Amino acid sequence: MSRRGTFADIAADLPAGSDLVTTEQNVLDNIKQEIANYDEVVDSARAAVDAEKSLTLREALRRYPKAAGWSILLSTAIIMEGFDVVLINNFYALPQFAQKYGVQLPDGKYTITAPWQAGLSNGAQVGEIIGLCINGWSSERFGYKKTMMAALSMMICAIFIPFFAKNIETLLIGEILQGIPWGVFQTLTTAYAAEISPVALRPYLTAYVNLCWVIGQVIASGVLRGVLTWDSQWAYRLPFALQWLWPAPILIGTIFAPESPWWQVRIGRHDAARNTIRSLFNNPTEEEVENSISLMVHTNAIEKELSAGTSYWDCFKGVDLRRTEVASGAWMIQNLCGSAFMGYSTFFLEQAGLATTNAFNLSIAQYALGICGTLSSWFLMTRFGRRRLYLLGLFGMICFLVVIGGMGFISTSNSGAQWAIGAMLLAYTALYDATVGPVCYTIVGEISSTRLRAKTVVIARVAYNIIGIVNGIIMPYFLNAQKLNWGAKTGWFWAGFCLLCFIWTFFRLPEAKDRTYGELDVLFENKVSARKFATTIVDQFAGHESSLSPAGGRVEDIDEKKFVNGNNGDVVHLESI
């Protein structure tokens, strides 16, 4: 049964022993002192929430076309990282590259030694960690726009180093220096997309970051396929040079891009935030602009009371500790669920007798699957939400990895088994790129508080990179014939970790679908169970007296859901009201 009423109405009808909770009075008093014209701000903010949550995808695109466009432009910078990751890892097998930077073997061939392969592969990740830490400070100090412009400028300069590198040591320095702006791109683009887009566009624009990563991989695979037969030094120098195609036009576009209005509100530039909202909104009325500003001001005031600081340490205090755990866990799962394994599909297909050239062609198809998967995730997220997609994806990947591990006990001389392993890894890739791969960016972008978003995303990505470095070390050890030589049996190792990821997701990953940032603040403040996030009714304005809500709040239509607000964590069941 559905019913609409005030908190006073509900309190009168609640069964004996039930509590109706609101925000603590001292918190409300502090917020009222923080905000001028408090009652008007609350009324305007409530109107902004109602308007934003009523937007459909089509309406959101019609009202916020510029927000979508600017987010897409900045996120496109991620293509460069996806491009280089494929580039450097495939250069090791390129004879021209090996002859320039490698050592000669007794049989006359050239190779890049294993230590240098590990160094070059992990060098960029080391640089990324440096860039991540810089971005967490810089984007909050100078804003997203200036930080992005500085990173793009550095990227243009850093490309010169690998392009003109005369030895492998210089090449390593180039990889590390390129990694610094990549680290900025990894987190800034996600946070920027989350802050300039309405709730209806948030999953699409944040997941687009993953699509850019995959696009970069597809382009790099195509370029490498094209230079495979070249005999000159341009076989590896041209791919390096192609990286200059991206930063210059993105830099020019960023000069004209708007700053995040949330950041402008956080530093007190309300008039600048109003102008930004006008530039992002399609023909907004002055009332709509003021409503949006009021929502940002109100949400920011709540978060300041819950967590006064904005340092890295504040990400590990109070309710923000849980939010940091969720963001970090969601991103670490990308590397802990066996994704390092899926890049070896061509390895098993070559063992089955597939020609190296055809195996390389198949790798391009694998990345194309990633594009299709990301596009499908846009529609799956709006239907099933983030949490359910994570659970379904992890469950399916566990099944795939168990089957792959079992096939590892079949002799490698059995070409049918090797074909099956390669095919299963391709299927695993399609599932990963439709669930965990892109959905992670949406979770990380929206789960943190607005005041700590940049730093929370940075911490989460650093955790991801650390696991990635470990994966880069252990995977060759698992597959090397001179080491463990587990082959496909490694699938069971990753299936175990994937199961642990599934358990963590079930108990710890909350559902943020269709939630405003203020509502998420209230849910985390009240320590609502991750499994109940989706079915809990939230009104962040409850207890905030205003002309529109004299009883301290209001309740939306309710159908077998609950209402939560306040600091003591009690949940009011409303099914029987």
Q: Encode pLDDT of 181-219 as tens digits.
A: 999 998 899 899 989 998 889 999 988 988 998 898 888
Q: Cα separation of 510 and 524, whole Å?
A: 10
Q: What is the pLDDT of residue 205?
A: 92
pLDDT tens-digit series, residues 243-291: 999 999 999 999 999 999 999 999 999 999 999 999 998 888 999 999 9
Lowest mean pLDDT among 2-16, 323-337, 507-521: 2-16
Helices H / strands E in the chain, number of each: 26, 7
- pLDDT per residue as tens digits for the range 488-499: 888 999 999 999
Q: What is the pLDDT of residue 349?
A: 66
Q: Same topology for domains 64-257 and 309-514, yes or no?
A: yes
pLDDT of the residue at 552? 40
Domains of the chain: which residue ranges?
64-257, 309-514
- State how far the Cα of 41 lies from the Cα of 295, in Å rounded to an integer: 8
**Pairing mode, strands 536-538 and 562-564:** parallel
Question: What is the model's pLDDT at position 1?
Answer: 32
pLDDT tops 50 at residue 557: no
The DSSP bridge pattern shows strands 554-555 and 110-111 to be unpaired
CA-CA distance, 461 to 35, in Å (whole number)? Answer: 34
Per-residue pLDDT, averaged over 318-331, amounts to 94
536 forms beta bridges with 562
Predicted pLDDT of residue 434: 93
Side chain identity, residue 396: G
Share the mean pLDDT of the chain.
83
Listed in sequence order, the DSSP H helices in 353-482 are 356-407, 415-434, 436-447, 453-479
Question: Has domain 309-514 been given CATH number 1.20.1250.20?
Answer: yes
Residue 518's pLDDT is: 82
Measured in residues, the chain has a length of 577
Top CATH class of 64-257 equals mainly alpha
pLDDT of residue 189: 92
Q: Is the pLDDT of residue 563 over 70?
A: no
